[in-house]
């Protein structure tokens, strides 16, 4: 696997376009990010104001420059609107693996099939272009919506890391881990392509 952080990766299907996150996305994503403070209540990152969202984007750009994380903006073609962001991270070219996360999608775009389409794009790129052996996901143990979405993808539950992330309010969250292996991808892809929204 050879992940190229300097490449502008653009992923698109009939529902979504994922483009590299840039500071130009600040005002495009601001209405979605600020509509509800609880949008990222289970995340250690806060984005519910312009300064916080700007800081979040700046960090994503810095992490891309240092080869840590590659963040995308999410554009919903059905709604003709920017809907959120998602990322590749924890990338190991040596071990042929990466993590999909840092995902947030505005309330009106949730449960519409947009997230599934984004994950299909990311997983297809990871397994078919990058030749990943393993892709993993993690979420807050309390985030039942996110856990259900990951499980619906067909990812395998691996366990819980207890109290592994300190949240901004001082709470120590426990993270649930899931993964998909390259050998499982063809069956999972077929299921995702056939499943309704």
CB 157 within 8 A of CB 175: no
What's the mean per-residue pLDDT of the chain?
A: 95
Neighbours of 62 (CB within 10 A): 11
pLDDT of residue 134: 99
Edge-to-edge, what's the strand order for the sheet holding 156-166?
11-12, 16-20, 69-76, 81-92, 97-105, 134-140, 172-181, 156-166
Neighbours of 179 (CB within 10 A): 17
For the segment(s) 11-133, the CATH number from 3.30.70.20, 1.20.1250.20, 3.40.630.30, 3.40.50.300 is 3.40.630.30
pTM attached to this predicted model: 0.95
With tokens 């979405």, the residue in question is 149
Backbone angles phi, psi at 14, to 5 degrees: -65, -15
pLDDT of residue 196: 63
Strand, coil or helix: 45: coil
DSSP secondary structure letter of residue 156: E
Neighbours of 121 (CB within 10 A): 22
Burial grade of 170 (CB within 10 A; 0-12, 13-18, 19 or more): exposed
State the sign of the Cα–Cα–Cα–Cα dihedral 150, 133, 15, 22: positive
DSSP secondary structure letter of residue 140: E
pLDDT of residue 89: 98
pLDDT of residue 197: 58
In which residue ranges of the chain is pLDDT below 50?
none
pLDDT of residue 41: 74
pLDDT of residue 83: 98
d(CA 181, CA 189): 12
pLDDT, tens digit, 9 for 90 and up, residues 150-171: 999 999 999 999 999 998 888 9
């Amino acid at each position: 696997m050879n992940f190229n952080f300097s490449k502008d990766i653009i992923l698109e299907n009939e529902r979504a376009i994922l483009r590299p996150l840039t500071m130009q996305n600040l005002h495009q994503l601001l209405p979605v990010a600020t509509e509800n403070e609880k949008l990222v209540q289970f995340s250690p990152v806060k984005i519910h104001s312009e300064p916080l969202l700007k800081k979040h984007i700046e960090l994503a750009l810095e992490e891309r420059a240092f080869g840590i994380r590659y963040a995308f903006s999410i554009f919903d073609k059905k709604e003709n609107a920017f809907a959120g962001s998602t990322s590749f991270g924890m990338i190991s070219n040596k071990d042929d693996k990466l993590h999909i996360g840092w995902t947030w999608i505005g309330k009106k775009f949730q449960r519409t099939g947009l997230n599934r389409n984004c994950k299909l794009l990311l997983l297809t790129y990871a397994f078919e272009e990058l030749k990943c052996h393993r892709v993993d996901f993690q979420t807050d143990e309390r985030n039942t919506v996110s856990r259900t979405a990951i499980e619906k993808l067909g990812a395998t539950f691996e366990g819980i890391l207890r109290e592994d992330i300190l949240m901004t309010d001082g709470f120590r969250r426990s993270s649930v881990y899931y993964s998909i292996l390259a050998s499982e991808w063809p069956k999972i892809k077929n299921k995702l392509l056939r499943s309704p929204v």
